[in-house]
Structure 1
């Protein structure tokens, strides 16, 4: 008997290939699970599990009573090689789903340092270099990059990963065992939740408010059944855009010290704030690991992950980085260090802060000005769009896909199985500037038209 995950792998690859080749269109309704079961000669219950797996992996979205629809940027199952889209189709889709920003002129800014590193003598010395703690220059540069008013990491506290996502995986591998409970904000970074689930860790959704994660929710969950670890995003939270005030950070840090709960703090969006607050590590240094990277500051193809960890946790984290194959390559480490030292990172941070504010303001002008409700920080590269009745997030995602706009449903960020809010996240960083206003105007018209008039089905 074929396992439903194997069928999901096969179907995910096929759908991504069909989308890339133009044989299927974004937002297209898939056959019913019953028809799929009949075609595949499998039990209806197995077909339903296959479709549920496609939704879980982000290949499709589904709403009870309306069907299952192909996402605009459907990708093959995790672990399979990506399927390249046709150039014409890739240009036609406005991607408000992936939040990577590459500004015009970045290549010219970063090229000089790379040219120096690729000189034969310099490159020769980097080919065998992959140290989890980097070298003195890398640690000093990273410490300068990550410091804030009221807090500065010691260079000796730095460890390096190939990317921020690998740093998170190392934290979850080293600091919590399968079967233990990891507390998440109720809406959270979907990849972090997915890594925890793959490692056999139990995600525990915790209540938040306008100031972020609530300490009383942490205390109550821990009293019911101990939490081993927390994953939090205090700065420009993804997807909600909230920033935790300093008083809340102090309260949460004190609680974690008292209850002996470790904290992984994801600071990847913090660079967009000119007046970023001290991290939790400033108030609970022995219980906190701060994770950051260059992926948002620079680009996904030119990145480096950072971990700031207390002495008692560094050996475990270093071992996890080595065993996972997540140590930063020597060339990446040297390039990242050079870009920090020559001011390229600081210059891109300056440009991206202005770019994020401009894109955010345009979204608010068009969508908020049109009567829709938006939540988020005006400095952020993402916004949370609350949908008017009778829309449901999954149906809206499919309808937007039919108009070649990719957005993310709330369920993608839900840490637990409870019903997700009726909302979508808009990632503002990836599209060309000229694509944004037409896309926002289309989403506004779609939201105000309603699902029946939009003819999703």
Structure 2
């Protein structure tokens, strides 16, 4: 192993990029020879006084530049000339697997708008672990990639049960199946429990794709009024008594977009009403995966009627498109069939990759780094929003902002877009048409490539908030 400790220049550039540049410079100058083994990431992080995630991200960036190679259990090495030439050849000849060795930037170079409307997991160097798992899966199970998935490996359900568990609740793997992300799981659960024309209660405001899913399959959304803890029990009781819904869709842990979280008392009240009126519960816990393990899900309180779902999109990587759903007894086969018919069969590569990342412990390591990065972005964003009313959480990827006087939600969204920034209007989160105006917008802080870009966008948004609607001129 090479005893190499670089000196990083002072710069506004992110530390991981400075470290990746230092690796490239050392290779060019022959300070790092072809085939040299780099220091273990944890050791280098200690020597440099930075986080493990920073070094992981730097190694990933250098690997994407074609400078490094590595194997799980062996370490990270400087590529030799033959490897680099072979990598370039494979990247030109094979558009899929060859790109793993092709040099490209991990930071999007698009000159399009800054995306403050997404909440995908930020880049914390997770591609190093994902690529290693991908390559191992292809090498080990290549014969499984040329055929349909005819039998579901037990490991897929075991991984799902592990990822969904929280607050002392351990779901049964036999009632858990892999999905193509959270959205298809929501769609499948709704189709499983409600027939066309039947009603489903939704918090208002709520996740926009869930409301769209209800309309797509011919079910009818009912808007339930909320308070600071989410759906009000008296409102839920009234809707159940008068409109007889078949199901209720809830996000009890850090609701999207309000960030409301139900107390245990509130959760028990909702469960008791659902039992009394025989209403199914669809529990979306995709943001709950970013919470510390203390929240008891609805599925633990009412396992006989709760479909509990989550995915890797917020805590690991959105592009994997892997999730899981735990079902009430006797409902898993029906829900899995609905998922297949509505969202298509599961991809072996996706489901196997997701399962191995979870079962190996890599997902937990990535989640820890994601939460650390989100906490840093949260602190930065709070500085720019000082003096304004908003809801947030240090481990959450978005803010729910109350706009100052004169701004409407739609006009603020247009003003931000005119400055090259996409944010979400409150109308995106209304399950039904409503005259109620909250005068809020949601901004996501995780999908922006890095903190420099985040700060660039926050400067614009802060100026718009401070200067008011009069600062934005529209033309008829």
Say yes or no: does 1:99 pair with 2:116. Answer: no
The equivalent residue for 2:176 is: 158
**Aligned mates of 1:131, 1:261 — CA distance in 2:** 34
Q: Deviations over 1:367-396 (max 9, x none)?
A: 1x2x21111323211110110111111011
Say yes or no: does 1:374 pair with 2:390. Answer: yes
**Aligned mates of 1:89, 1:304 — CA distance in 2:** 26
Aligned 8 A contact 1:230 1:264 in 2:
yes
The equivalent residue for 2:407 is: 391
Say yes or no: does 1:426 pair with 2:455. Answer: no
**Aligned mates of 2:395, 2:260 — CA distance in 1:** 11
1:104-115 superposed matches below 5 A: 104-115=124-135
The equivalent residue for 2:210 is: 192
How far apart are 1:131 and its partner, in Å? 5.5
Aligned 8 A contact 2:156 2:178 in 1:
no
Aligned 8 A contact 1:187 1:414 in 2:
yes
Query: Please, what TM-score do these two structures have when normalized by structure 2?
Result: 0.74
How far apart are 1:434 and its partner, in Å? 0.8
How far apart are 1:437 and its partner, in Å? 1.8
Say yes or no: does 1:135 pair with 2:191. Answer: no
1:15-414 superposed matches below 5 A: 90-119=110-139, 122-130=141-149, 134-367=152-385, 369=386, 371-414=387-430
Aligned CA distance change for structure 1 residues 89 and 408 (closer, same or farther; 3 Å): farther
**Aligned mates of 1:312, 1:155 — CA distance in 2:** 13
Aligned 8 A contact 1:131 1:328 in 2:
no
Q: Secondary structure at the match of 2:441?
A: strand
Q: Secondary structure at the match of 2:177?
A: strand
Aligned 8 A contact 1:127 1:331 in 2:
no
Unaligned runs of 5+ in 1: 1-86
**Aligned mates of 2:426, 2:252 — CA distance in 1:** 19
Aligned CA distance change for structure 1 residues 399 and 107 (closer, same or farther; 3 Å): same
The equivalent residue for 2:91 is: none
Higher relative contact order (CA 8 A, sep 6+): 1
**Aligned mates of 1:404, 1:392 — CA distance in 2:** 19
Aligned 8 A contact 2:160 2:178 in 1:
no
**Aligned mates of 2:391, 2:301 — CA distance in 1:** 28
How far apart are 1:300 and its partner, in Å? 2.3
**Aligned mates of 1:248, 1:88 — CA distance in 2:** 43
- What is the Cα-based RMSD across aligned positions, in Å? 1.8
Higher mean C-alpha displacement, 136-145 vs 179-188? 136-145
How far apart are 1:89 and its partner, in Å? 8.5
**Aligned mates of 1:170, 1:413 — CA distance in 2:** 21
Q: How many equivalent residue pairs?
A: 367
How far apart are 1:456 and its partner, in Å? 3.2
How far apart are 1:215 and its partner, in Å? 1.6
**Aligned mates of 1:116, 1:216 — CA distance in 2:** 53
Aligned CA distance change for structure 1 residues 104 and 377 (closer, same or farther; 3 Å): closer
**Aligned mates of 1:413, 1:344 — CA distance in 2:** 33
**Aligned mates of 2:367, 2:345 — CA distance in 1:** 25
Unaligned runs of 5+ in 2: 1-106
**Aligned mates of 1:403, 1:92 — CA distance in 2:** 11
**Aligned mates of 2:287, 2:192 — CA distance in 1:** 24
Aligned 8 A contact 2:175 2:328 in 1:
yes
**Aligned mates of 2:198, 2:212 — CA distance in 1:** 15
Q: Secondary structure at the match of 1:289?
A: strand
**Aligned mates of 2:286, 2:363 — CA distance in 1:** 14
**Aligned mates of 2:265, 2:150 — CA distance in 1:** 37
Higher mean C-alpha displacement, 386-395 vs 207-216? 207-216
Aligned 8 A contact 2:124 2:366 in 1:
no
Query: Please, what TM-score do these two structures have when normalized by structure 1?
Result: 0.77
Higher mean C-alpha displacement, 181-190 vs 329-338? 329-338
Q: Deviations over 1:80-117 (max 9, x none)?
A: xxxxxxx9983352211011124142221211111111
**Aligned mates of 1:267, 1:420 — CA distance in 2:** 27
Aligned 8 A contact 1:395 1:456 in 2:
no
Aligned CA distance change for structure 1 residues 190 and 325 (closer, same or farther; 3 Å): closer
Higher mean C-alpha displacement, 138-147 vs 348-357? 138-147
